[in-house]
Amino acid sequence: MSPIPNLLRLLIFISFLAACYGHSQRWKQEEAHKKVEMVIDYNALLEYSRAKGADDWTDALPEFSGVQGIAFTELKVDELEAYGICTVFSGIALGADTGQGSGTPPLPNPQYTYLVQWSPNDKMSAEQLVQAINQAFPGRASLWDSSKSPKIAGAKVVEVRLPLRSLQTTGICYPDWVLKQAQAKHLSIWLRPENKASTIEPADINAYFERLHEKRPEGIIFGGSSNEVVGYSDEDVLKSTAAAIQAKGWKLGFIESARANQQKGIETLVRNSHLNTVRVFTVPPMQQEKLKPERVAQMYSLAARERNLTVLYLRPYAYDPTPDKGFEDANVNFFSALSKQLEDRLSNQADTFATEVELSRGAIAVLSLAGLAAFWLVVLDYFPKAPAVPIVVSLTLFAALNAALANRHLWMALMALGTACCLSALSVISQFRRLRRAAGKDTNLEALLSSSHAWLIMSLISLAGAWIASCFLQETTYKLGLDIFRGVKVITVLMPVAITALWCLSEDQRRHWLGIGGAPLKLYQLIALSILAVGGLVYTMRTGNMAGTDVGESMETERHLRMLLDQTLGVRPRFKEFLMAHPAMLLAPLALRMGWKELTAILILVGATGQCGLFDTFAHVHTPLQVSLIRCVMGAAFGLLLGWIYAGILLALAKGVRWLQKKVVP
């Protein structure tokens, strides 16, 4: 027997050991990245407090257990008015309401905005208003001489040389008096600055962030109606923003969102500041109000435990004195449930990925051998007399190539894709003989035991392959969800089809399937193909790191089932693996044993999606390794159990069909 197959298997095992070393570094990184901070939105908290009739927003804090941070957006002119700091007039309104529209100059300009402070204010003086507006809109504000007007005598008026509509949509300053209250309560401060592209130049960036530094924030989560980071869309300003955030030692909040809804310019900032970036999760207020507190708490908990999100941006449920949705004590239930689920993770400082995981060139060269070795093992399964020299030479050159291209982003992604494809194909194809032998066993029980043995071997190979392939994806941008591995559909859609095609072309199946090509299409075959096509479309839409927006979205019933499994098991196994794929592979020899070759091929196809899907689990690099491992093992255990249950049902149905045939046809 040629020693080459054993050598190739040894290389795969050595690559697996190298992957264990690489993943041990990632495991340490993830263990140091577990602390989660619950941050409450100040505006929502203030609105809730006012609705309850509370004199001070801090009186409501005891309702929100676990909260250790608070986020502030910039105040707009209507909020300044709500705080009693000033009264806001357009130039026309000031003239009409105070009689300033006629008489002795100076007269109010109809195109300007006027902020009138009728008496001294302990929160913010008129002079501080001028300073704040000039910082937001350089050179646009000054105190207006109103001393000659008897109707506003004693008042101080700030003239802003901008129309009111321009001020109404733009943040001006932060409520410093509230920030002091929050700091006195030992809450960490998060600021939500908005972009002012027309007023912030590259030269102003350092001064802008120096003013924010005085407020002693823990981090920045950009906000504003424009949904832009400060400095967008000037590339130089964006780089200055990233440099300023790093220099101040702040954390940069990266909100989890669909790419189309992501903040403009945030990608540039994260790529330049990924080691001080934290992922932020929030449930939109409109969505939250439709969901029970327990459901929302579970969404936040899963985000922290399974997706590397370390800042949970929370808003209270709106105060309702007469709830009609069963939301009594909604906030107490919501926050207490969440803080209990995350009690071992909660902190007043959200964790960042403080260090990179970067593998050496030698480690990557060894890792690369697994995929090519798996490829040659598949080739040798069909061409056992292939010469050894080209195999050895190709492995040597390939290892050298990977050493030269080590840690290049695109190449590492391609290596992950190729390794996953080759090892998932090997896992199933290498067990074709065992599956055929299982079908030839004397009893159904023996056939099922032999089938389980073959399935266990292929699952171990697939799991090892997923472990090795995912080791190529160590960049922090994957763990932050900024970069997405986009080869999942190739592995989980095309590879099962290719594996099934090789099954159909194997020695004992080839004649049957080639004969079908020349025979008329039967009705049951047409129905089966239609069902398979629809199922394949749904599966394709729902596969990958980014699901489709139509078929790919989960139904609400499925979401509830997911929540139930998460609450019961801690980590939920993947439905398509334990409900369909793993049981299907176990049933394939039974179907072959009964002579159902078409059904056997379909079961091989579905079963292969489970083996290929193991890499899909690990391709979600933003999910911690520990969670992915538990998910795969748990899915296999449930899949094995359901496979035996399905086998009993299938055998009972087959027995019933045979009994019915005897009754109908004497």
Phi, psi of 609 (to 5 degrees): -65, -30
Q: List C-alpha distances in Å: 51 to 65, 71, 320, 461.
A: 20, 20, 8, 59
Q: How confident is the model at residue 187 (pLDDT cuts 50, 70, 90)?
A: very high
396-to-217, 255, 366, 373, 403 alpha-carbon distances in Å? 53, 44, 10, 11, 11
Confidence class for position 197, pLDDT limits 50, 70, 90 = low
What average pLDDT does range 163-177 have in this prediction? 90
Using CA of residue 365, residue 371, residue 372, residue 374, what is the dihedral sign? positive
Query: Cα separation of 319 and 328, whole Å?
Result: 10
Identify residue 467 by its one-letter amino acid code: W
Q: Span 158-176, mean pLDDT? A: 90
The pLDDT value given to residue 492: 86
- Would you state the pLDDT for residue 317? 92
| 478-517 residue pLDDT tens | 999 999 888 888 898 899 999 998 988 877 777 766 666 5
Backbone φ and ψ for 116, nearest 5 degrees, come out as -105, 125
What is residue 486's predicted lDDT score, i.e. its pLDDT?
Answer: 85
- Find the mean pLDDT for residues 296-323: 89
pLDDT digits (tens, 9 = 90+) for 566-622: 766 778 888 888 889 999 999 999 999 888 888 888 899 999 999 999 999 999 999
In this prediction, residue 555 carries a pLDDT of 54
Judged against a pLDDT cut of 60, whether residue 130 lies above it is answered with yes
The set of residues, in sequence order, having a beta carbon less than 8 Å from that of 576 and lying 6+ positions away, is: 539, 542, 609, 610, 613
pLDDT at 548: 39
Predicted local distance difference test score (pLDDT) of residue 550 = 38
Better pLDDT: 166 or 203: 166
Report pLDDT for 515: 64
Residue 410 in this model has a pLDDT that exceeds 90: yes
Weakest-pLDDT range from 263-267, 490-494, 631-635: 490-494
Say whether pLDDT at 427 is over 90.
yes
pLDDT of 549 over the 50 cut: no
- Residue 345: pLDDT band with limits 50, 70, 90: very high
Q: At residue 553, does pLDDT exceed 60?
A: no
Is the predicted pLDDT of residue 342 greater than 90, yes or no? yes
Please state the pTM of the whole predicted model: 0.87
pLDDT at 652: 85
Q: What is the pLDDT of residue 651?
A: 85
User: Is residue 451's pLDDT more than 90?
Assistant: yes
What average pLDDT does the segment 100-128 reach?
82
What's the pLDDT score for residue 547?
Answer: 42
Identify the bridge partners of residue 38 per DSSP, sorted by sequence position. Answer: 67, 312
Rg for the chain, CA atoms, rounded: 32
Q: What percent of the chain has pLDDT over 90?
A: 56
Alpha helices by DSSP H, listed for 430-581, are: 432-439, 444-470, 476-479, 488-489, 495-504, 510-518, 523-542, 556-569, 575
- pLDDT for the residue 618: 93
On the question of pLDDT at 440 being above 50, the answer is yes
The pLDDT, as a whole number, for residue 137 is 86
pLDDT number for residue 605 = 92
Residue 425 CA to residue 461 CA, distance in Å, equals: 10
Q: Which residue has the higher pLDDT, 277 or 239?
A: 277
Residue 664's pLDDT band (boundaries 50, 70, 90)?
low
Q: What is the mean pLDDT of residues 172-201?
A: 89
What structural domains and CATH numbers belong to the chain? 4-28+355-664 (no CATH), 34-74+174-341 (3.20.20.370), 78-168 (no CATH)
DSSP β-bridge partners for residue 143: 158
Q: What percent of the chain is modeled with pLDDT above 70?
A: 86
Flag whether pLDDT at 552 surpasses 50. Answer: no
The residue among 214, 274, 265 whose CA lies nearest residue 241 is: 265
Instruction: Find where tokens 């600055």 sit.
Output: 193
